[in-house]
Homo-oligomer: A and B are copies of this chain.
């Protein structure tokens, strides 16, 4: 297939590709900037097939970098900017990355990683822009849908995050599945205030070139700014997670959004019914959706025509995809709970260097999500648990197992268990239970230990020392019992 940005710049050169607070670029301008960047990267030595880590804020620089990589055939390993030095280093090493590129906001971190890992060199964007273009370099004119475009790390239940391999085809089919559900208009303008290092933001970047659709890019989420944009800038679609939507509604008060807004794509975990009802009352067209990094974003989406009659459902799987509920190795009956299992050309081919994990979740092309849900009698999917034990905090996935694994690295901790509790601001926050080897260590010290190695959103907000963690006969941690314990502690 012709290179997407090249083709887009050929077909609709003068359409606006991106609008930021300070900039406006057409597809032709973007393409020229990206080609120049690609020729600089080639000068610097970046090659086809090479994996390069990216540490960027949500800026046009990040957008250009992704597309420049596709002109070279290099593979992007976008890093979550909220992680710690330790977490970044682990991901870079796991992905065999030897080059890390960052924007000015991340120069300091990048240099620290370089010092920490001699195998990695850090390239600052500032330096890169000074590199001379290799004008004779051949840029890719075609994209091969089977090639890897991105490796995105997602935390798993086994402690360490796993690198999800996403091909050009995964991203392509995700965009196509979505357009067959949401439709497309030449005036469409998608507001992006979700991270471009997540698949949610990256999928907007892909829609931008595939659809020829303007993206209004925000560097971060600020409810008042986003609301103003939704009221004044003829935005037609926005991707949000529940916590963002709650904050936007709080801030919106009695006002309403522009009539141009035709899709609020709501992902990232359980949406309280009261919020959905409030949106319905205010005429906000919410598309509830369910997706994973492994499915290159949304794979199940509720159309607005069912927003009222199927309130709370994530909908049905997109046109090129399928979904079934598996219980005891058979397909569950309607209303019967089981594991959500999905299939489609947007589903990952597996995890990087992790055949075991790949085999565990991918069977005959079906992705076993680990999430629990059911279908009603009309085939609409209801998601009950975004993965057993998964904690979703402000749209970020937190796996208890990852925090538990870190806690067990502490010399004075013998056992550890982490659960998520409701939080009015973040949706959920993690809480830790530990069995200490000796009681001299204070819980504050343990919290500081966590802060050193974990992104701040992953650091447990409460620590409780207990004498023994609840386990079943085969010694498996019973997280459910931790919830009972917490009720006791809180005096309920």
What is the CA–CA distance of A305 and B188 in the complex, to the nearest angstrom? 15
Contact of A334 with B by CB under 8 A: no
- Which residue of chain B has the shortest Cβ distance to A187 in the bound complex? B183
Contact of A7 with B by CB under 8 A: yes
Q: Is A186 within 8 A of B305, CB to CB?
A: yes
CB distance from A247 to the nearest CB of B (A): 29
Q: Is B186 within 8 A of A185, CB to CB?
A: no
Contact among B180, B185, B186, B210 with A210 in the assembled complex (CB-CB below 8 Å):
B180
- Which residue of chain B has the shortest Cβ distance to A212 in the bound complex? B180
What is the CA–CA distance of A188 and B184 in the complex, to the nearest angstrom? 11
CB distance from A302 to the nearest CB of B (A): 11
Q: Is B10 within 8 A of A379, CB to CB?
A: yes
Size class of the contact patch on chain A? 20 to 34
Contact of A46 with B by CB under 8 A: no
Contact among B2, B183, B320 with A322 in the assembled complex (CB-CB below 8 Å):
B2
- Given contacts A2-B322, A7-B319, A316-B10, are A180 and B183 in contact (CB under 8 A)? no
Q: Is B186 within 8 A of A184, CB to CB?
A: no
Q: Is B179 within 8 A of A180, CB to CB?
A: yes
A309-321: contact bitstring with B at CB < 8 Å (1 yes, 0 no)? 0000000100111
What is the CA–CA distance of A428 and B319 in the complex, to the nearest angstrom? 42
Contact of A11 with B by CB under 8 A: yes
Contact of A211 with B by CB under 8 A: yes
Most buried by B among A10, A188, A321: A10
CB distance from A32 to the nearest CB of B (A): 16
- Which residue of chain B has the shortest Cβ distance to A13 in the bound complex? B378
What is the CA–CA distance of A12 and B305 in the complex, to the nearest angstrom? 10
Q: Is A316 within 8 A of B11, CB to CB?
A: yes
Instruction: Point out residues on A near B: beta carbons under 8 Å.
Output: 1-2, 7-8, 10-12, 176, 179-180, 183-186, 188, 210-212, 303, 305, 316, 319-322, 345, 379
